[in-house]
Amino acid sequence: MLFHSMVLAFSPILPLETGTTQALLAALGWLLPIGVLLIAASGMRKEEAREATLTFLIAAGVTAALYFAYGFALQFGGVGIRYRTQGLSGLVWLWTPLDLKWGTGWGMAGIRGFGLLPPASTPEAYLLFLAFLPRAVTAAMIPLLLLRHRAPLWASIGGAILSGGVLYPLMGCWLWGDGWLSNLGHDLGLGHGFVDAAGSSLFLMAGAVSLAAMQAILPRKAAPHDGAELPPVHLPLLAGLGAAMVLVGGTGWTLANPLLGGVSPTLAALNGILSALAGALLPSLYLWFVRGGSDPLMASRGLVAGWVAGAASFCFVPPWAAMTIGGIAGILVPLVTYLVDRVARWDDPVGAVSTFLVPGAWGLVALGIFADGASGVGWNGIGAESYMGVPRQGVSGLLVAFGSKPDWPGQELAQIVGGSTVLLLAIFLGLLIFGVGAWAGSKSLGIETPSGKS
């Protein structure tokens, strides 16, 4: 209702057909990273929660500068190759390390639009920048929340830059900028290529960078003595408020994308809400049965996990499947949290593994199962007229609608290749940077190392 009122208020001043609605949706999308921040802060002690506010501002400022300077160009410097719309047609340069005899769909990084200079100085390019900037900030914020005040400053800033300033623009090019993962359908015949409507892979990547930091620079937690099974929630009101922001902001985050054509925005918004609410409901019921009471932190993390898991397939699955995907992600949150905190004893107070990494991976795989073929016609340039001999069949997995043909295991293989690439690259670079940094720091301070005293 509030957003509808905002649109009506601005419509006499700014014509909606020029992108005002999507600009407002892009502004609404900032509620999602703020909601994630509040949920993370709810599990921190008061003094730590106070510092979390500054964490968001640092992540937003640093990432905005990097995304403006070069991140947008890396991600969308070649987007005009596929999207020949006015204002994007000049963004047509993609770098590839492969010879052209291997084909033209192996783009790795865009090389036009640095600093939003021409040909990126158009209203359409500005709108694209606005829509994707909150995603870059969220990618940087997750490892920064984990590391701030618990690791050296170089690790905190380095993790944010790696996640939001390097990996996200590159991954975004491969997926949304006409890069090689989106072209797996053309080049290798794997379904419609790697498909991720709203960013499950982003959270998978940010969670993987956080996991690498836990292994490389954060000590393992001591064996618990209090018998508690789950981390305490110190500020439950923040958890509830953050969950509400994710629920609302997720809709703006999804629908602000101007490249999201050929799908139903109503279905995308509905599936986002259903997957998030199912993610909150199931862990609450589970904890009610096993402990006699619900937990606001687990319910809030479950809501985020449900949204993250459903993000890849909001546009391509029926509502019952969106609830299934979100519910499975939600029920995994307390189980994975217990394994991380109590069994592995990894130091993960923000739930990077349980709330982002695992749901992100599950969401990518789930699309290959539940995409029903009723939506996404011509996605990634595949099957604009017909697909698998069926007119107007869209992105398809195993369980398709009546009249469509299952695209199994082609689409699932594309999802596995894309998800594995994001996961392994993030872990490898994270371990490399954090590991080398920790080794260099120990050498400079004369700390005992496995090879002897420095």
- Asked if residue 184 has pLDDT above 90, the reply is yes
- Asked if residue 5 has pLDDT above 70, the reply is no
- Asked if residue 152 has pLDDT above 80, the reply is yes
Looking at residue 329, the DSSP 8-state letter turns out to be H
Rounded Cα distance between 333 and 207, Å, is 14
pLDDT score recorded for residue 437: 81
Q: Which of 61, 440, 369 is closest to 216 using CA atoms?
A: 440
- Average pLDDT estimate for 29-48: 89
- Average pLDDT estimate for 98-112: 84
The confidence band for 48, taking pLDDT boundaries of 50, 70 and 90, is confident
- Average pLDDT estimate for 393-397: 97
Tens of pLDDT along 215-274? 999 888 776 655 556 788 888 889 999 999 999 999 999 999 999 888 999 999 999 999
Tens of pLDDT along 286-340? 988 888 778 899 999 999 999 999 999 999 999 999 999 999 999 999 999 999 9
pLDDT score recorded for residue 235: 83
| Spatial CB neighbours of 311, under 8 Å, sequence gap ≥ 6 | 196, 197, 198, 199, 200, 203, 250, 254, 272, 363
The confidence band for 21, taking pLDDT boundaries of 50, 70 and 90, is confident
pLDDT score recorded for residue 4: 44
Tens of pLDDT along 410-450? 999 999 999 999 999 999 999 999 998 887 766 655 554 44
pTM score over 0.85:
yes
Residue with tokens 């402990």: 291
| Spatial CB neighbours of 274, under 8 Å, sequence gap ≥ 6 | 310, 319, 322, 323, 326
Is the model more confident about 294 or about 171?
Answer: 171
- Asked if residue 13 has pLDDT above 50, the reply is no
The confidence band for 55, taking pLDDT boundaries of 50, 70 and 90, is confident
Rounded Cα distance between 165 and 422, Å, is 15
- Average pLDDT estimate for 78-85: 89
Rounded Cα distance between 418 and 201, Å, is 8
- Asked if residue 355 has pLDDT above 70, the reply is yes
What are the residues facing 109 on neighbouring strands?
95
- Average pLDDT estimate for 42-52: 78
Percent of the chain at pLDDT > 70 equals 91
- Average pLDDT estimate for 43-66: 85
The confidence band for 16, taking pLDDT boundaries of 50, 70 and 90, is very low
Rounded Cα distance between 401 and 374, Å, is 7
pLDDT score recorded for residue 390: 95
Tens of pLDDT along 106-139? 999 999 999 999 999 999 999 999 999 999 999 9
Q: Which CATH class is domain 33-453?
A: mainly alpha
Mean pLDDT, the chain, rounded, equals: 89
pLDDT score recorded for residue 225: 55
What are the residues facing 338 on neighbouring strands?
none
| Spatial CB neighbours of 347, under 8 Å, sequence gap ≥ 6 | 150, 214, 218, 219, 220, 221
pLDDT score recorded for residue 356: 98
The confidence band for 85, taking pLDDT boundaries of 50, 70 and 90, is confident
pLDDT score recorded for residue 232: 81
pLDDT score recorded for residue 204: 98
Percent of the chain at pLDDT > 90 equals 71
